[in-house]
Amino acid sequence: MFDFLKRRRKAGFDSKVLRKNDISLLILDERWNKLFETTQKSPQISAAEKKLKDSIKEEARLTAEAREIAISKKNHMDRIIKLTPAVFEKKDPDAIKEMGFCEKEINRINERFKKIEEKLDTLPDRKKEANLELLEHTVNIIYFKMRSGRKRVEELEKLIEEERGKLKAYIDEKESLSQDDTDIYSYFHDLLGGEELERLDRKFF
């Protein structure tokens, strides 16, 4: 069904210009979604849509994880503060062991934070690229549909004109026959009289 996508020209966006524009995320745009109430999505659109959704989901997941580990880090830091007297004054081995564990967890969390930040830094560009890709595929398929629709409108306009001409001919013929009927009826009424005309009407009609 989508073989035409391989043959037709692409929209050929100027990506530099579009990157400067603040284009809303298409999949969150109600008007974009309405475009496909009567138009089937091409495989390219479905793939680009999935790529954009995956980027949005990953951003949400990483942001949520960052919040969770920030809470965990704070809890470990608070625990270290509470353990400090037992570790440095009493030299409590259990407290020393627990503090060591908390320090390792904080280091692990810090490393994870770095990785999360690195990924989050790349996601805005990834989302924008996926969004632009989705936009280009959308324009390609929707404008192809619009072009086909306009051709059909032209065909329909011609058919309407043809039918309008036929309808006018039918109306003219009907009016001519009605007028003939009126003229003939009037003639015979004057010639034969109303009573004889009624007898003829009963006989023929």
Tokens coding 103? 């320090």
C-beta separation of 132 from 18 below 8 A: yes
Reading the chain (205 residues) residue by residue, the pLDDT tens digits are: 444 444 444 545 555 555 666 688 999 999 999 999 988 999 999 999 999 999 999 999 999 999 999 999 999 999 999 999 999 999 999 999 999 999 999 999 999 999 999 999 999 989 989 999 999 899 889 888 889 899 999 999 999 999 999 999 999 999 998 998 888 878 887 888 888 878 887 888 7
pTM for this predicted structure: 0.65
Residue type, 103: E
Termini Cα distance of the chain? 60
pLDDT digit string, tens, across residues 57-107: 999 999 999 999 999 999 999 999 999 999 999 999 999 999 999 999 999
C-beta separation of 200 from 188 below 8 A: yes
Tokens coding 24? 């809303």
Closest CA to 135 of 16, 198, 69, 49: 49
CA angle 190, 194, 196 (to 5 degrees): 100
- The residue whose two tokens read 């400067």 is 20
Which residues does 140 contact at the CB level (< 8 Å), separation at least 6? 5, 8, 10, 11
Q: Output Rg (C-alpha) for the chain, integer angstroms.
A: 40
